[in-house]
Amino acid sequence: MMSDRGTLILRVYCGAVLVFLSMPIVVAVGVAFGEDRIARFPPTGFSLHWFSAALSDATFLGALINSLELATLTTVIAVLIGLPAAIALVRRRFPAQPTLEAFLLSPLSLPGVLFGVSMLFFLGATRFGLTWWGLLAAHVVIAVPYVLRATLAVYRGLDRGLEEAALVLGAGPWQAFWHVTLPLLRPGLAAGGLFAFLISFDNVPVSIFLTTARNNTLPVTIMSYLVSQDFDAIIGAISAAQVGIVFVLLYLLDRIYGVARLTSFGA
Amino acid sequence: MTEGRRTVDVELRGLCKRYGFVAAVEALDLRIEPGQFVALLGPSGCGKTTTLRAIAGLVRPDAGEVLVGGRVMNDVPVHRRRLGLVAQNYALFPHMTVLENVTFGLRMRGAMPADIERRAQEALATVQLTGMESRYPRQLSGGQQQRVALARCLVVEPDVLLLDEPLGALDKKLRERMQVELKSLQRHVGITTIFVTHDQEEALTMSDRVAVMHQGRLQQVGTPQEIYEAPKNRFVADFVGVCNFLECRVAGREKETVLLSLEDGTFVRAAVLAGTAVPPAGTRVVLAVRPEKVAIDAARAERSGGLRARLENLVYLGTAIHFHVRTAAGARIIAYRQNDVMLPVGLHPGAEVDLGWDPASARLLIE
């Protein structure tokens, strides 16, 4: 009897947490599909009008494309830095190893606002100025730790004997990397890469200092819209689109490297 | 698979490897004849795995040379050494099927696709895994994984096969079966094989020669029989099989035997191996004698030159009986007796017994 009641309480509790977590998203997405411009929940009627309004707004559309480009390139560069760094940290022995690892992961513990301001001063002092490339560099710095951490975790759990076996079997160092190390690290790279993309895609605290009217990112554009206007259905539509993009990415990742496949490696 | 194969020898010259201040391997000299099956035997941390990894090229020696087929390998990278290695956990590639695992070496060496297919099928047939091609390693039992690992390294026809405790992860029954299979496979292929193990029984039953290692140093190399019957020092005698040790002093020499005096004044004898110098009288030595060589009998009234002791414990094992006795000087001795004749009367705990042995089966160890 007690266990039945316990189960019931647990279910209610879990349900409440899920509602609490998803309600803001439900509200934002719901508003986007309503007929009123003024945010109203539950929405009245059903319309896709605000999506077309958002997409025909050059400011929002430009920001969305900019953010997607920025996040994609950030992810690629973060992987190109994080993967070799993980290999060096796991397979090589050198004195500064712990220091280097802590340094590469340090952006995780640095407040975003602080880093954004510092970057702003840095770009000014070095006369690079506020360019898209400066913004990209800043995003790469905060994205690398996510790629590195996920890759390190997978690599550290990988039996070194696998790479050694490949070498003994006649594979050169590059062949061993391409055919054994890389496929086995792929789950870590995929997870880290996804995080890198998302970190860049919805970053505000760093981007807000480094963007200009010409290269505004989507989150910064939403922020400034909210400051000058009010929360309305256009913002709802933009938010829904952003949630949709993230959801599609997560879904694809799960289909390609499902949780079951991730855990079956190395067993 | 045997046709056209060249069998090569392996030679280690003054091999040294240190980790910090600890010498993992120290001045190791070892020659392994072509086609031989040699066990590197020793307790964990004795340097046997480091030695194997140095041969494979996975460990860079601090000094000394590794020669395979007369060629110095020190500067040859791992992937060009043409060796086969089976690790204790097999190290099968988890993201590849059995077939992909087995063909890996051939693919990396750029073999022709038709050739790859044929040789992989041959190798799988040799280890009796035909039909398992599309399975993944995690879907196989321990014994099957071990055979995939063997097929994977034999398919590239390596010059030398290196086995690092390949049976360690198997349960006892399977282990014994795989010992026989592995040995007959090795004989069939005729490949020079170096086998690392800490299991002395496994080393004795499988090898042509055994190299016993301790604290980074080679203690003795010989046939299993030589290692067991004529251990060179106390470590070898103790590590391989069970052995009784008696502290004593050289008392004198009588033809082919040495007369030794125990602490309590009794005299025992041991054979002198041909070519061995007998240390001068008074030198402290250790006498080593295997339990199965010790004859035990109830004490007689008149002493016949044997060793008098007291029976402390008797362990009945069915096929054999183990007697635990203690000499007047306090030394413990174990004697085995096959359970094939009637047990003499008077052999019960607390009884006085006489111990004796053929001097030829007792060894003198100079500390």
- The pLDDT assigned to A2 comes to 56
- pLDDT value of position A263: 42
Q: Where are the alpha helices (DSSP H) in chain B?
A: 48-56, 98-108, 113-126, 142-154, 172-189, 200-206, 224-229, 234-239
Distance, CA of A166 to CA of A176 (rounded, Å): 6
* ipTM attached to this prediction: 0.83
Contact A168 B153 (CB under 8 A): yes
Tokens of B152: 């994977």
CB atoms within 10 A of CB B177: 13
Mean pLDDT, chain A, rounded, equals 87
Residue with the larger pLDDT of the pair B109 and A4 = B109
What burial class does residue B244 get, using C-beta atoms within 10 Å of its C-beta: 0-12 exposed, 13-18 middle, 19+ buried? buried
Interface contact flag, A161 B87, Cβ < 8 Å:
yes
- For residue B22, how many C-alpha atoms fall within 13 Å in the half-sphere facing its CB? 8
Question: Do the Cβ atoms of B78 and A164 come within 8 Å?
Answer: yes
Query: How much is the pLDDT for B3?
Result: 47
How much is the pLDDT for B149? 93
Q: Which among A65, A87, A39, A62 is positioned nearest to A188, based on CA atoms?
A: A87
pLDDT at A256 over 70: yes
Q: Check CB contact of B138 with chain A, cutoff 8 Å.
A: yes
Backbone angles phi, psi at B220, to 5 degrees: -165, 145
* CA atoms within 13 A of residue B287's CA, in its CB half-sphere: 32
Degrees, nearest 5: CA angle A174-A88-A83 = 70
| Residue B72: both structure tokens together | 């110095």
Tokens 């008797």, located at residue: B314
Per-residue pLDDT 10s for chain B (367 aa) are: 444 567 899 999 999 999 988 889 999 999 999 999 999 999 988 999 999 999 999 999 999 999 999 999 999 999 999 999 998 889 999 999 999 999 999 999 988 998 999 999 999 988 888 899 999 999 998 889 989 999 999 899 899 999 998 887 778 888 888 888 888 888 888 899 999 999 998 999 999 999 999 999 999 999 999 999 988 889 999 999 899 998 888 888 877 788 888 877 788 888 777 667 788 888 888 889 999 999 888 877 666 567 888 899 989 888 889 999 998 878 899 999 888 777 766 788 888 888 888 888 888 887 6
Model pLDDT, residue B303: 61
Nearest CA in chain A to B86: A165
Helices (H) and strands (E) in chain A, counts: 13, 0
**Sign of the dihedral through C-alpha B65, B71, B75, B81:** negative
CB atoms within 10 A of CB A68: 16
Check CB contact of B30 with chain A, cutoff 8 Å.
Answer: no
CA distance B305 to A137: 92
Distance in Å, alpha carbon of B9 to nearest chain A alpha carbon: 18
User: For residue B304, what pLDDT is reported?
Assistant: 59
In 10 A of CB B250, how many CB atoms? 20
User: Does the structure show a pLDDT above 80 at A151?
Assistant: yes
Cβ <8 Å between A171 and B85? no
Question: Touching check for B108 and chain A: CB below 8 Å?
Answer: yes
pTM of the model: 0.81
Other beta carbons within 10 Å of A169: 29
Tell me the backbone φ, ψ of residue B137, rounded to 5 degrees.
Answer: -50, -40
Angle between helices A182-201 and A132-156 in degrees, nearest 10: 140
Question: Tell me, what amino acid is at B37?
Answer: F
Residue B105 is nearest to which of A161, A169, A183, comparing CB atoms? A169
Residues A148, A82: contact at Cβ < 8 Å? yes
Of B91, B95, B138, the CB nearest to A165: B91
Check residues A154 and A34 and name the one with the higher pLDDT.
Answer: A154
Residues of A at the B interface (Cβ-Cβ below 8 Å)? 159, 161-162, 164-173, 175-176, 179-180, 183-184, 264-267
Q: Do A167 and B58 touch (CB under 8 A)?
A: yes
Model confidence band, residue A265 (pLDDT cutoffs 50, 70, 90): very low
Residues B51, B55, B56, B59: what is their CA dihedral angle, to the nearest 10 degrees?
60
Asked if B355 and B307 count as a contact pair (C-beta separation under 8 A), the reply is: yes
**pLDDT digit string, tens, across residues A168-213:** 999 999 999 999 999 999 889 988 999 899 999 989 999 999 988 8
